Amino acid sequence: MKNAVLALMVITILSKIAGYFRDLVLAYYYGASATSDIFLVAYTIPNLAFGIIAAGIATSYIPMLSRIEFEQDKNRGVVFTNQLINILLILVSLMVVIGLIFTGPIVRLFAIGFAGDVLTRAILYARFSIFGLYLILVIKILSEYLNYNKQFNIPSLIGLPLNLILISFIFFSYRLQSDLILASAVLIALMAQLMIVVYFAVRKGFYFKWTFSLKDEYIRRTFKLTLPVIMGASVLELNNLIDRTLASSVTTGGVSALNYANTINVSVIGILVASFVTVFYPEISKKAAQNDYSGLKSSLNQILISVMLLIVPATVVCAFYSTELIGLLYGHGAFEEQAIQLTDSAFLYYSIGMVSAGLNLVLTRVFFALQDTRTPMVNSVYTLLINISLSLILVRFYGLSGITVSTSIAETIAIVLLFIKLNKKIGTIEIGSLIINFLKILVAILVPVIAVKYSLSYTGGPDFSKLLIHLIVIIIIYIYTIVLFKVNYIDYILQLIRKKYLKRG
């Protein structure tokens, strides 16, 4: 299981690098032009139009599949998967028809400034991408099917062919000056993803079958579970929208600075936490389906400490080296010192909330595994209200930093509420053990970061070699210290590493 997490982290990093190069290629050939705007809007429409719904259904899918296979058998699970896909394909068909009829108004909703030839071209691009809704649906569900069957790498790897195809189509569209090539890029890339997930899903026992029943007990329960997930995701989007709106009132460039800072924040959490969640989610869903709360709590404790071993040091490093990181990643071209300072102030306080955000992601999935999607939804509403209230107050005194520190405080309060709710739901969680291990990890990373930061020469600025030397020294001291402090599961992790390399030797 540890090897699966590590492999997933590596694949996630590679996928994000590929996405970064995709953006670089688009910027290199098209710059900040009408064509790049059109492409990005067309790329966004199918993901925003159905992405939240598909993600909500995919989240509810694994706990329900676990329940079905526990109560019946694997074949019934495949039938359920087909029913879910077929019902949603009908829903998507309705959305596609509406999208094709009202393409113009939809494009203007996403890009109010488009007009004339730009609008005409955007409508062409959007009509291609709208058909991607069918593909996104099947890809999402079959990806979760593969995750459930412990094929974690495949759903993560499909981001690579998607980005490689997009990069190729951007290049050829520029060389041949063809709107048709660029307009079809997203659709072709999604087709490639679909072929990959279908191939591997079939190898794991999946088969396509036309079956349709809205009266199916498991289908009805899935949709009942999905609604709060969708509402919770919508609340999160509303939260982000309010933050951006407040940022726009603070200073020129505030929205961009907030976006750049949040991109790093989300990427760190995605790489370090989402990999654990993806691997352990099927396991805790099976234990929840079997009412094995003792096993569930044991797995949860292992996940939380494992996540803290990664996210706590990431938080401390990001907080102490925020200026250097922002300068290295963004301090090029027109991104001048003022922009670096603005983004740095936002990122510093985002980083403080990384631990809470990471643990929130884990606990939310535990509730989903228990087929309780209402509690995380209600909790997200509380988070929104706390964040808005604090932001309106703190933005007056601290500007952009007030927005991000409000987000971090709201996330921390949210995680406390989730722990209280979960403790009542599954019985006593070893909170004391978690706090002790958290403090050990915190001290283990604070000592080397402070010592290295202020003892080794570092004048700041985007110098990769100096930053790399600092990080290597910090990591070595951190690993030694957490072993010395006997943080839970460290012996187990080291034993796995020894076995792996002794076998190779």
Q: Which of 14, 12, 38 lies closest to 26 in space, CA to CA? A: 38
**Residues 105-119 pLDDT 10s:** 888 776 666 778 888
Structural contact between residues 214 and 87, judged by C-beta atoms closer than 8 angstroms:
yes
Residue 343: the pLDDT is 81
Residue 310: the pLDDT is 87
Which residues does 464 contact at the CB level (< 8 Å), separation at least 6?
328
CA atoms within 13 A on the CB side of 129: 27
CA atoms within 13 A on the CB side of 456: 17
Residue 504: the pLDDT is 44
Tell whether the model's pLDDT for residue 272 goes beyond 60: yes
Query: How many of the other CB atoms lie within 10 Å of CB of 216?
Result: 16
**Residues 297-313 pLDDT 10s:** 888 888 888 889 889 99
Q: Which of 345, 369, 207, 222 lies closest to 296 in space, CA to CA? A: 369
The type of residue at 315 is: T
The type of residue at 437 is: N
**Residues 201-255 pLDDT 10s:** 999 888 888 887 778 888 888 888 888 888 877 777 777 777 777 776 777 667 6
Structural contact between residues 229 and 56, judged by C-beta atoms closer than 8 angstroms:
yes
- Give the mean pLDDT of the chain: 82
Structural contact between residues 342 and 330, judged by C-beta atoms closer than 8 angstroms:
no
Residue 494: the pLDDT is 58
Helix, coil or strand: residue 459: coil
Tell whether the model's pLDDT for residue 284 goes beyond 80: yes
In order, the DSSP letters of 95-137 are: HHHHHHHTHHHHHHHH-TT--HHHHHHHHHHHHHHHTHHHHHH
In order, the DSSP letters of 326-348 are: HHHHH-STT--HHHHHHHHHHHH
Which residues does 214 contact at the CB level (< 8 Å), separation at least 6?
87, 220
| Gyration radius of the chain's alpha carbons | 23
